[in-house]
């Protein structure tokens, strides 16, 4: 794979190569959905010898990694301010080929800013979703209130297209679970809100909304992000994902299912702090005791819920 060759290039800084190896050991690229996803080292950096050979000023190789769900201008500046050498962005900030690189496009402006500062960017995305114990298993842990090691009856919704590497058997997209006993939808909502970082609002679609407060479910399927294509054929009582279109939610409720959505990145972001940060830092410290992994404080979902009544009286024309 092209990204593998790029990441292993001796021209990347030693710390960048260490970070890439550590992320791959946790979330191998082989289990990512490469039919559409763009995972790997999307922006490399240059070691001191190569900088000297190119006539560039040498930049320090700081031993700091910044984790983020999305790579926005605010997160890019945060990486500069916190002296990160590598950004691990869950979502790829480059999905399609670029025909130009200029300052007019905000995505390309980030690319130029980070390249100037010699900051690399690695994106694992669906590899994080797919691995056992990854993002979707974490969502199941939240809605069941227990971990995979506690014997929950869970399974993959959609297996990977190719056999996963050794040690990652059972990889795939989405997860299904059978609850040991019926669970109130309201209890699932409370668990989600707490587990995802203290959300105040979630969206619920149900066949009969007036009865939702007493509705119980026996099974659920989850898929972080925009999960309809993975979840749509799941024979379960409850679907949990980040976002779903009007027509897909309508179809699900017509099939008798309850749908819970929390906004796309809200279904993903807390995983970075709760699971990825400690796992990646432990892996890095096996090689470099001085390594540290930070989680972005600038990263946030672009959507917020406004309570219109709290806006007060507006101006009238």
Binding site: which residues?
91, 129, 264, 268
Q: In the prediction, which pLDDT does 109 show?
A: 94
Domain boundaries, the chain: 2-125+270-295, 131-263
Residue 66, both tokens: 């910044």
Please determine, for residue 15, whether its predicted confidence score (pLDDT) is greater than 80. Answer: yes
State which CATH number among 3.40.50.620, 3.40.1190.20, 2.60.40.60, 3.40.1390.30 fits the domain covering 2-125+270-295: 3.40.1390.30
Place 8 in a pLDDT band, splitting at 50, 70 and 90: low
| pLDDT(10) > 70 | no
Distance CA 172, CA 133 (A): 11
Mean pLDDT of 164-187: 96
What pLDDT score does 14 carry?
92
Given this structure, which CATH class describes domain 131-263? alpha beta
Known binding-site positions for a divalent metal cation:
91, 129, 264, 268
pLDDT for 56: 73
pLDDT reported for residue 177: 97
Identify the pLDDT of residue 3. Answer: 46
Q: What is the pLDDT of residue 211?
A: 81
Query: What pLDDT, on the 0 to 100 scale, is given for residue 141?
Result: 96
Q: 117-121, 166-170, 210-214 — which is least confidently predicted?
A: 210-214
- CA-to-CA dists, residue 250 to 69, 87, 142, 175, 243, angstroms: 29, 38, 25, 22, 13
Q: What are phi and psi of 25, to 5 degrees?
A: -70, -25
Q: Do domains 2-125+270-295 and 131-263 have the same CATH topology?
A: yes
For the range 144-148, what are the long-range contacts, defined as Cβ-Cβ under 8 Å and sequence gap of 24 or more? 144/177, 144/179, 145/191
Mean pLDDT across the chain, nearest whole number?
Answer: 92
- Predicted local confidence at residue 9, as pLDDT: 65
Looking at the chain, the whole-number percentage of residues with pLDDT higher than 90 is 77
Tens digit of each residue's pLDDT (9 = 90 or more) over 124-160: 999 999 999 999 999 999 999 986 655 568 999 999 9
Percent over 70 (pLDDT), the chain: 93
Please tell me which residue, 213 or 177, carries the higher pLDDT value. Answer: 177
pLDDT tens, residue by residue, 214-270 = 999 999 999 999 999 999 999 999 999 999 999 999 999 999 999 999 999 999 999
pLDDT of amino acid 4? 44
Average pLDDT over residues 82-111: 91
pLDDT digits (tens, 9 = 90+) for 35-88: 999 999 999 998 877 777 777 777 777 899 999 999 999 999 999 999 999 999
Which stretches of the chain are DSSP H helices?
2-7, 14-26, 48-53, 73-81, 106-116, 126-130, 135-144, 185-195, 228-231, 246-254, 269-271, 277-285
């Amino acid at each position: 794979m092209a990204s593998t060759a790029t990441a292993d290039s001796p021209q990347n800084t030693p710390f960048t190569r260490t970070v890439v190896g550590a992320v791959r050991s946790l979330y191998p690229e082989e289990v990512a959905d490469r039919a559409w996803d763009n995972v790997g080292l999307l922006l490399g950096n240059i070691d001191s010898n190569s900088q000297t050979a190119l006539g560039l000023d040498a930049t320090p190789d700081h031993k700091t990694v910044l984790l983020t769900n999305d790579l926005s201008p605010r997160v890019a500046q945060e990486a500069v301010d916190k002296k990160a050498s590598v950004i691990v962005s869950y979502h790829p900030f480059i999905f399609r080929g670029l025909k130009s690189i200029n300052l007019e496009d905000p995505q390309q402006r980030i690319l130029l800013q980070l390249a100037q500062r010699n900051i690399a960017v690695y994106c694992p995305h669906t590899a994080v979703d797919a691995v056992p114990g990854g993002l979707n298993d974490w969502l199941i842990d939240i809605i069941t209130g227990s971990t995979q090691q506690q014997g929950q009856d869970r399974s993959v919704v959609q297996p990977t297209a190719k056999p996963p590497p050794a040690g990652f058997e059972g990889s795939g997209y989405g997860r299904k679970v059978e609850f040991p006993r019926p669970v109130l939808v309201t209890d699932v909502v409370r668990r989600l809100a707490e587990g995802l970082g203290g959300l105040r609002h979630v969206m619920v679609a149900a066949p009969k909304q007036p009865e939702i407060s007493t509705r119980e479910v026996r099974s659920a399927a989850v898929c972080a992000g925009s999960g309809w294509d993975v979840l749509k054929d799941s024979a379960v009582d409850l679907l949990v994902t980040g976002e779903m279109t009007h027509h897909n939610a309508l179809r699900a409720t017509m099939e008798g299912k309850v749908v819970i959505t929390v906004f796309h990145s809200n279904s993903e972001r807390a995983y970075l702090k709760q699971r990825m940060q400690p796992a990646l830092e432990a892996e890095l410290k096996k090689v470099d005791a001085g390594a540290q992994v930070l989680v972005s404080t600038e990263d946030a979902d672009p959507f917020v819920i406004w309570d219109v009544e709290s806006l007060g009286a507006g101006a009238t024309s």
